[in-house]
Structure 1
Amino acid sequence: MAYDPILFSIPEAFESRRLLIRAPILDDGIKVNEAIRESIDDLLPWMPWAKTMPTPEESEANIRKARLKFLERSDMRLLILLKENGKLIGSSGLHNIDWKVRRFEIGYWVRSSFGGQGYITEAVEAITNFAIHELQANRVEIRCDSKNIRSYRVAERLGFTLEGIIRNEELSVDGSLRDTMVFSKVRGVEF
C-alpha cells in the first residue's frame, strides 16, 4: 500500500448514535469560539491553547489551518456536533500521526454544558472505529495528564489498555511537571 497519505481517500464525516463527527470546514470558527468561550474555565487546567481566549477571527484562522492539515493528512481535527440540531459540542481528532506505522493519538474536549452526558465517550469510540476501519490503524493512543480524571475515565470505559505512566514527562498548563498516562488499543490484541 502506498504511504503517501495525501493520496488516501478518507471520509470527512461519519456518525455515531447521537453525533455527527466531521472535519472542519470554513466558517466553523465562530461555533468553535462560542464553545471555547463557554468552556474556557474547564479547559484551562488541561489545554495549553486555552491560556487566552481567542477572538472569533483567531478561531476561524485556526479552523482553516486545521482544514489544511486534514487535507494534507498531517493532523486530523474532528468536530463533534449533535445530529439532532447541528450544535457544536466539542472537538477531537487524530493527532501525532505516523502513517507508516499507522499510529494515531486521540485528543478531545467537550463543551461545558454537554459534559457528563457520555458524548465524549461516544465520540472517542466512533473515532477509534474510524481509525481502525477507515485508516487501518495498528495503534490508537490516548495520552492525558494523570490528574485529568474525566479524560482517563474515557479511555478506561472504552477498554483502552493503560501501558504506563510517564513520570515528569512534560510541563502542565500551570508550569509544574506532569505525569502522562498512556493508553492504547493495538491491532491483534484489542481489535
Structure 2
Amino acid sequence: MSLLFNILPESLKERLETEHLILRPYQEGDENDFMRVLQESTNIMYPAFSGRIARVKALEDARIQMQQLRTDWDNRKTFDFGVWMKADNTYVGDIALKNVDHKIPKAEIGLYFTGWPETKELVQEALQTILDFAFHALQLNKVYIRCTASNKFYGELAQENGFVEEGTLRSDFRGVDSEELHDLTYFGMTREDFEAQRNQQESKNSTELV
C-alpha cells in the first residue's frame, strides 16, 4: 500500500511559507481572487487548463470549483495550492500536484501564475516549495510536468529547476471544446534527482560561507 494512504489529511502541513509567498488550499472567500486570475491568465492557461476555464464563468462556479478542490485534497486525489504574496496578501496563482498515481507513487505538477514572465522568480519559489512537499511530506518517488508547444515556457521553467526532458508524445492531448490535437512534452524529476540537486545546493552554500 502506498504511503499516501497512511497519511491523514490533518497530518499534512497545508500552509506552506517561503520568503515571499504563502501557499495554502482554497477556502470560502477566495472565489473573487480565484476568478480574477483565471480571467487575467487565460492566454497562458490554454490548452492545459481549458477545462477549468470552461467550468468557471461566474462567481458561483468559482465557489463550486474550490469546494471540489477541497474534496479532492481530503481524498488525496489532488493537492491544489493557491499562492498569495506574503507582503500584501495578493493572490498571484495556482500550483498543484494532480493525477496522483499511488502505485509508484508519482504526480503531475500543474501551475499558472498571473503576470508571467515578470512573476517567474515567484513561480520558481513556489515550484521549489511544492517539490519539497512532494518528496518529503508525500514521499513521492517522481513528479512530472507536461506542456504543449504553446506552453513551452513551462518546459523551460522545468529544466531550469532540475527536471529532465523525457520525450514528446504526438497528438496526445485535446483541450475542452476543441478538435485540435496537441503534442505533449514530458519533463520528469525523480527522488534521486531531487536529492542530488538539494545536496549540490547545500554543498554550494557551504562553500560560499567558507
TM-score scaled by length of structure 2: 0.82
In structure 1, the residue corresponding to 2:19 is in which secondary structure? coil
Gaps of 5+ in 2: 196-210
Query: AA paired with 2:184?
Result: T
**Is 1:187 matched with 2:188?**
no
Deviation at 1:107, TM superposition (A): 0.2
1:95-174 alignment, distance < 5 Å: 95-111=98-114, 113=115, 115-118=117-120, 119-172=122-175, 174=178
Quote the Cα distance in structure 2 between the aligned partners of 1:88 and 1:110. Answer: 9
Q: Call closer, same or farther: CA 1:3–1:70 in 2, change over 3 Å.
A: closer
Quote the Cα distance in structure 2 between the aligned partners of 1:52 and 1:133. Answer: 33
Q: Call closer, same or farther: CA 1:26–1:51 in 2, change over 3 Å.
A: closer
* Per-residue deviation, residues 3-59 of structure 1 (Å, max 9, x unmatched): 525635211111122111111112211210121222234434542122475201100
1:8-47 alignment, distance < 5 Å: 9-47=11-49
- Of 53, 56, 61, which aligns to 1:58? 61
Query: Which structure: larger Rg?
Result: 2
Query: AA paired with 2:75?
Result: E
Gaps of 5+ in 1: none
Q: Is the 8 A contact 1:16 1:126 kept in 2?
A: yes
* Greater helix proportion: 2
Q: Call closer, same or farther: CA 1:43–1:25 in 2, change over 3 Å.
A: same
In structure 2, the residue corresponding to 1:93 is in which secondary structure? strand
Deviation at 1:77, TM superposition (A): 0.9
Q: Is the 8 A contact 1:6 1:72 kept in 2?
A: no
2:182 maps to 178
Query: AA paired with 1:56?
Result: L
